[in-house]
Homo-oligomer: A and B are copies of this chain.
Amino acid sequence: MTIAPDFNSTVDPAKLEKLAEVAVKVGLNLQKDQELVMTAPLAAMPLVRLITKHAYMAGASLVSTFYSDEETTLSRYRHAPDASFDRAAGWLYDGMAKAYASGAARLAIAGDNPMLLSGQDPAKVARANKANSIAYKPALEHISNFDINWNICSYPNPSWATLVFPGLPVDEAVRRLADAIFAASRVDRDDPVAAWAEHNAELHKRSTWLNGERFAALHFTGPGTDLTVGLADGHEWHGGASVAKNGVTCNPNIPTEEVFTTPHALKVEGHVSSTKPLSHQGTLIDEIQVRFEGGRVVEAKASKGEEVLLKVLDTDEGARRLGEVALVPHSSPISASGILFYNTLFDENASCHIALGQCYSKCFLDGASLTQDQIAAQGGNSSLIHIDWMIGSDKVDIDGVRIDGSRVPVMRRGEWA
């Protein structure tokens, strides 16, 4: 099946099968007679096969997988004519949109090398991304509107593993990354499906409490951080399993550790320091320090990648304001692993974080029925970007600030108070 050596044989087959089961039963909660559309890197083929099996066992009517291939992607950058970089497979995305519109579920396996295109012409990468975003929009809207149950999980692609564990031989790096994915995805437990039920209940308990408190703001204090994040009017906290518009309760992300909501775009004040490096499109941005005034970033520096950070902030007006604030305890399994995954699906779940840019409409009470103007009026930010970065640690305290100015401990030394 390949000319390259086989690193997948180092991945524990029993745990991989449990991951497949969790993806189907917990991630998707795939329904009887529901169709499934899957995308995956070629290297994730062993997981694709197991997910397909579990999907059919769960009653799937049909499972279709579209593979991406790092080598053919690079082949395009090496050999394709210039006009290629304004093209995208619109026919495929239109087909996917049609599948979702007729009720198919969606599963994406993440695991491509995050640095794959770092050696390519940035202008071509940007054009190809833009063409793809435009072509993918009709399909993506079914996901971002939460029309259907969907899930992202991940596979330890060798090219990703060697980035996460640069000092190790490839097979050892794959094994280490596989173990980290398995632990974060709770498939190292005896009964992973039960462990997820418990975990979802815990996340729901937190978001229910926060929704009951209806804080006006959160106040973060820690080394280099004294930040007040005003929350949007009518904000709603979410976390763990959610109900899609098709009525199916699913876990869109495996793993997930966060409860999150929408900040008020005009009401963020003070300064904040990042607590982990941020991997952004092939660049590492480290030791970020930012000051907000009236919700807007007015000062920003970083010990590494400052130039890229400043470019990101200049994307549009909304790029200097917050679209998300999320709470993750310092003891979360991903944080405890100490691994930097170079992958937001994992790294954002290792720490409390904020995101510059676009907010989620579902993080408003009755969000599905709000117009863009109403969302903006309630303090929801809008931008082309949504970039999460980590501001939590075992040295950070968080208070909830009520509308009358009284305070409630939310986290102490990185843990729920």
Contacts from A to B (Cβ < 8 Å): 1-4, 6, 8-9, 32-33, 35, 37, 42-43, 45-46, 48-49, 52-53, 56-57, 59-67, 69, 71-72, 75-76, 78-81, 83-84, 87-96, 98-99, 102, 104
Contacts and interface: CB of A to CB of B under 8 A. Distances in A.
Contacts of A94: 94-95, 98
In the complex this chain forms, how many copies of it are found? 2
A79 B33 CA distance: 12
Contact of A96 (B8, B76, B91): B91
16 contacts: A1-B4, A1-B8, A1-B45, A2-B2, A45-B69, A53-B79, A56-B80, A59-B80, A61-B81, A61-B83, A64-B89, A67-B67, A89-B99, A91-B95, A91-B99, A91-B102
A75 to B, nearest CB: 5
A88 B63 contact: no
A322 B170 CA distance: 57
Given A1-B45, A94-B94, 10 more contacts: A1-B4, A52-B72, A53-B75, A53-B78, A60-B80, A64-B89, A65-B67, A65-B72, A94-B95, A95-B95
A14 to B, nearest CB: 14
A90 to B, nearest CB: 8
A-B pairs with lowest CB-CB distance, top 10: A95-B95, A1-B2, A56-B79, A91-B99, A56-B80, A91-B98, A91-B95, A52-B72, A62-B87, A53-B75
Residue picked from A63, A71, A72, most chain B C-beta under 10 Å: A72
Nearest to A77: B56
A317 B37 CA distance: 35
Which among A8, A46, A53, A62 has the greatest number of chain B C-beta atoms within 10 A? A62
Given A33-B81, A53-B75, A79-B56, A62 B43 contact: no
A48 B72 contact: yes
Most buried by B among A42, A88, A98: A42
Given A53-B79, A84-B56, A46 B91 contact: no
Nearest to A38: B72
A57 B48 CA distance: 31
